[in-house]
């Protein structure tokens, strides 16, 4: 990953490591910038992760492993219920991470495999969906905590 100024000057670079992907589909999640933090999710067979970088220096603020199969969904970031949530959609769980700490705020099962659509925030809920080998759509409340599977 490379970071350049608007003048084209390289500011920093990071080697994110090799990704193990199936079907040669590669990576598809876009990095998200929020409050000088850069968030990237890499959900691949045997090595999923979410990592938050300082956007100015490229230094890791926190990184968490994710037990997810292939997914290509770009996370949504929202300030709600007194904290900034990073919402990720994948085959195992939709999860909300605290942007400051990396702790999981809430998680919810229910999507099908190979999630591609990004979460969409609508008021006090986030809408997540999938459509590969089955389909699912969920409206998840943003003010919950813990495992809320089955509540939506």
**pLDDT digit string (tens) for 103-142?**
999 999 989 888 889 999 999 999 999 988 888 999 999 9
The residues, any chain, with a CB within 8 Å of residue 89's CB and separated by 6 or more, are 71, 73, 75, 111, 115, 117, 118, 119, 128, 130
CA 13 remoteness from chain centre: 21
Query: Could you tell me if 77 and 85 are in contact, meaning their C-beta atoms sit under 8 angstroms apart?
Result: yes
Rounded distance, CA 129 to CA 26, Å? Answer: 21
Phi, psi of 77 (to 5 degrees): -125, 130
pLDDT tens digits, one per residue of 22-62: 665 666 678 999 999 999 998 877 678 999 999 999 999 99
Residue 9, judged by CB atoms within 10 A of its CB (0-12, 13-18, 19+), counts as exposed
Quick one: pLDDT at residue 92?
86
């Amino acid at each position: 990953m490379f970071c350049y100024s608007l003048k084209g000057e390289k500011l920093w670079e990071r080697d994110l490591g090799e990704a193990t992907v199936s079907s040669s589909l590669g990576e598809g999640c876009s990095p998200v910038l929020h409050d000088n933090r850069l968030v990237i999710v890499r959900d691949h067979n045997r090595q999923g992760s979410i990592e938050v970088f300082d956007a100015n220096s490229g230094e890791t603020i926190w990184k968490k492993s994710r037990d997810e199969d292939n997914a290509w969904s770009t996370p949504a970031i929202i300030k709600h219920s007194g904290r900034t949530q990073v919402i990720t959609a994948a085959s195992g769980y939709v999860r909300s991470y605290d942007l400051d700490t990396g702790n999981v705020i809430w998680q919810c099962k229910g999507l099908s495999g190979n999630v591609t659509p990004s979460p969409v925030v609508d008021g006090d809920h986030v809408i997540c969906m999938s459509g590969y080998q089955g389909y699912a759509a969920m409206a998840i409340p943003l003010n919950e905590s813990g495992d809320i599977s089955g509540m939506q």
